[in-house]
């Protein structure tokens, strides 16, 4: 049962496959829908990148060039999150050192360099 009132809803979905799936679903349950707007972004690729993307699709790993690009962007997002976490960890370590120095808990630089050289030597020996 639908009323005669018109309902306008704009849906912005960046993934075309999701947008079209939603459109098919709404059509199946007979909800009138005037338009689904799919926002797009045009990106210029070098011929080498285009060839690489096409080779990934032809290999069967991906079903479309969009899928290859989405996988790459997801990997970039993962990498950025890892770097962000490492950066935050480094900031915390620096703050611990600053707070320790403010309390007068300092180590002579000669001792620090000796300890670093010993650790480096141990790692070299373990690697051999």
Residue 116 has what pLDDT? 92
Query: Is the pLDDT score of 81 beyond 70?
Result: yes
3-state class (DSSP) for residue 29? coil
Stated pTM of the model: 0.47
Helix axis angle, 47-58 to 65-102, nearest 10°:
110
Q: Which pLDDT tens digit goes with each residue over 20-69?
A: 676 677 666 665 554 445 556 677 889 999 999 999 999 999 998 888 98
Instruction: Name the average pLDDT for the chain.
Output: 80
Do residues 50 and 37 make contact, with C-beta atoms less than 8 angstroms apart?
Answer: no
Q: Which pLDDT tens digit goes with each residue over 82-113?
A: 989 889 999 999 999 899 888 988 888 888 89
| Percentage above 90 pLDDT, the chain | 34
Q: Which residues pair with 13 in a beta bridge?
A: 38
Beta-carbon neighbour count of residue 26 at 10 Å?
14
Query: Is the pLDDT score of 11 beyond 60?
Result: no
Name which of 76, 75, 69, 77 is nearest 52 in CA terms: 69
């Amino acid at each position: 049962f639908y009323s005669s009132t018109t309902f306008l809803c704009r849906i912005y979905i960046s993934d075309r496959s999701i947008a079209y799936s939603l459109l098919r679903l709404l059509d199946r349950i007979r909800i009138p829908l005037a338009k689904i707007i799919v926002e797009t972004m045009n990106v210029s690729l070098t011929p080498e990148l285009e060839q690489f993307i096409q080779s990934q699709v032809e290999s069967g790993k991906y079903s479309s060039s969009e899928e290859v690009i989405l996988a790459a962007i997801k990997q970039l997002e993962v990498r950025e999150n890892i770097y962000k976490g490492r950066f935050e960890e480094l900031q915390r370590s620096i703050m611990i050192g600053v707070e320790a120095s403010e309390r007068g808990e300092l180590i002579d630089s000669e001792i620090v360099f000796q300890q670093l050289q010993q650790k480096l030597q141990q790692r070299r020996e373990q690697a051999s």
